[in-house]
Amino acid sequence: MATNTYKRSQGTGNSRRSFFSLLENLINVEKFFDKGLPVQFLMPFLFSTVLCIIYIGNLHYAEKNIRKATKLRVTVEDLRADYTTLKADYMYTSKQS
Protein backbone atom coordinates (compact mmCIF):
# COMPACT_ATOMS: atom_id res chain seq x y z
CA MET A 1 0.00 0.00 0.00
CA ALA A 2 2.82 2.39 0.83
CA THR A 3 4.49 1.75 -2.53
CA ASN A 4 1.34 2.74 -4.40
CA THR A 5 1.16 6.06 -2.56
CA TYR A 6 4.82 6.63 -3.25
CA LYS A 7 4.39 5.96 -6.97
CA ARG A 8 1.40 8.27 -7.16
CA SER A 9 3.23 11.06 -5.38
CA GLN A 10 6.26 10.70 -7.68
CA GLY A 11 4.18 11.00 -10.84
CA THR A 12 5.35 7.94 -12.75
CA GLY A 13 3.27 8.80 -15.80
CA ASN A 14 4.77 10.25 -18.97
CA SER A 15 3.00 13.54 -18.35
CA ARG A 16 5.28 14.33 -15.36
CA ARG A 17 8.69 13.98 -17.03
CA SER A 18 11.19 16.56 -15.94
CA PHE A 19 13.23 18.78 -18.18
CA PHE A 20 16.46 17.11 -17.12
CA SER A 21 15.25 13.62 -17.93
CA LEU A 22 14.25 14.81 -21.40
CA LEU A 23 17.63 16.48 -21.81
CA GLU A 24 19.41 13.34 -20.64
CA ASN A 25 17.53 11.24 -23.19
CA LEU A 26 18.24 13.75 -25.94
CA ILE A 27 21.98 14.19 -25.35
CA ASN A 28 22.83 10.71 -23.99
CA VAL A 29 26.06 11.65 -22.21
CA GLU A 30 26.48 8.13 -20.84
CA LYS A 31 27.80 6.84 -24.17
CA PHE A 32 30.95 8.97 -23.66
CA PHE A 33 31.62 7.35 -20.30
CA ASP A 34 30.89 3.70 -21.20
CA LYS A 35 34.59 2.78 -21.14
CA GLY A 36 35.50 5.17 -18.33
CA LEU A 37 36.66 8.77 -18.31
CA PRO A 38 38.07 9.79 -21.73
CA VAL A 39 41.45 11.16 -20.66
CA GLN A 40 42.43 12.22 -24.19
CA PHE A 41 39.84 15.03 -23.99
CA LEU A 42 40.96 16.25 -20.57
CA MET A 43 43.88 18.47 -21.67
CA PRO A 44 42.00 20.29 -24.50
CA PHE A 45 39.08 20.81 -22.14
CA LEU A 46 41.33 22.25 -19.42
CA PHE A 47 43.14 24.43 -21.98
CA SER A 48 39.88 25.87 -23.31
CA THR A 49 38.67 26.41 -19.74
CA VAL A 50 41.82 28.35 -18.86
CA LEU A 51 41.48 30.43 -22.03
CA CYS A 52 37.87 31.25 -21.15
CA ILE A 53 38.87 32.31 -17.64
CA ILE A 54 41.64 34.52 -19.03
CA TYR A 55 39.21 36.04 -21.55
CA ILE A 56 36.65 36.83 -18.84
CA GLY A 57 39.35 38.32 -16.61
CA ASN A 58 40.61 40.45 -19.49
CA LEU A 59 37.10 41.77 -20.12
CA HIS A 60 36.70 42.74 -16.47
CA TYR A 61 40.11 44.46 -16.49
CA ALA A 62 39.25 46.40 -19.67
CA GLU A 63 35.88 47.53 -18.29
CA LYS A 64 37.54 48.68 -15.07
CA ASN A 65 40.07 50.71 -17.08
CA ILE A 66 37.30 52.26 -19.17
CA ARG A 67 35.45 53.33 -16.00
CA LYS A 68 38.68 54.82 -14.61
CA ALA A 69 39.36 56.70 -17.85
CA THR A 70 35.83 58.11 -17.90
CA LYS A 71 36.13 59.25 -14.29
CA LEU A 72 39.52 60.87 -15.02
CA ARG A 73 38.13 62.60 -18.12
CA VAL A 74 35.35 64.18 -16.04
CA THR A 75 37.88 65.23 -13.39
CA VAL A 76 40.15 66.82 -16.01
CA GLU A 77 37.23 68.74 -17.52
CA ASP A 78 36.28 70.06 -14.08
CA LEU A 79 39.87 71.08 -13.33
CA ARG A 80 40.18 72.79 -16.73
CA ALA A 81 37.02 74.79 -16.05
CA ASP A 82 38.33 75.78 -12.60
CA TYR A 83 41.68 76.79 -14.11
CA THR A 84 40.02 78.94 -16.76
CA THR A 85 37.83 80.64 -14.15
CA LEU A 86 40.74 81.31 -11.80
CA LYS A 87 42.91 82.61 -14.64
CA ALA A 88 40.16 84.99 -15.75
CA ASP A 89 39.69 86.23 -12.17
CA TYR A 90 43.43 86.76 -11.78
CA MET A 91 43.66 88.70 -15.04
CA TYR A 92 40.71 90.85 -14.00
CA THR A 93 42.15 91.63 -10.54
CA SER A 94 45.67 92.30 -11.83
CA LYS A 95 44.40 94.69 -14.51
CA GLN A 96 45.60 98.26 -13.98
CA SER A 97 42.88 100.78 -13.64
* Domain that residue 88 falls in: 37-97
pLDDT of 45-62, one tens digit each? 999 999 999 999 999 999
pLDDT at 3 over 70: no
Residue 2 lies in a domain: no
Residue 82 falls inside a structural domain: yes
pLDDT at residue 1 is higher than 80 = no
Q: Is residue 97 in a domain?
A: yes
8 inside domain: no
* Residue 60 forms part of a structural domain: yes
- The whole-angstrom separation of Cα 86 and Cα 84 is 6
Residue 58 lies in a domain: yes
pTM of this prediction exceeds 0.75 = no
Is 68 contained in some domain?
yes
CA 72 vs CA 40, 60, 84: distances in Å: 50, 18, 18
If one counts the domains in the chain, the total is 1
Distance CA 29, CA 52 (A): 23
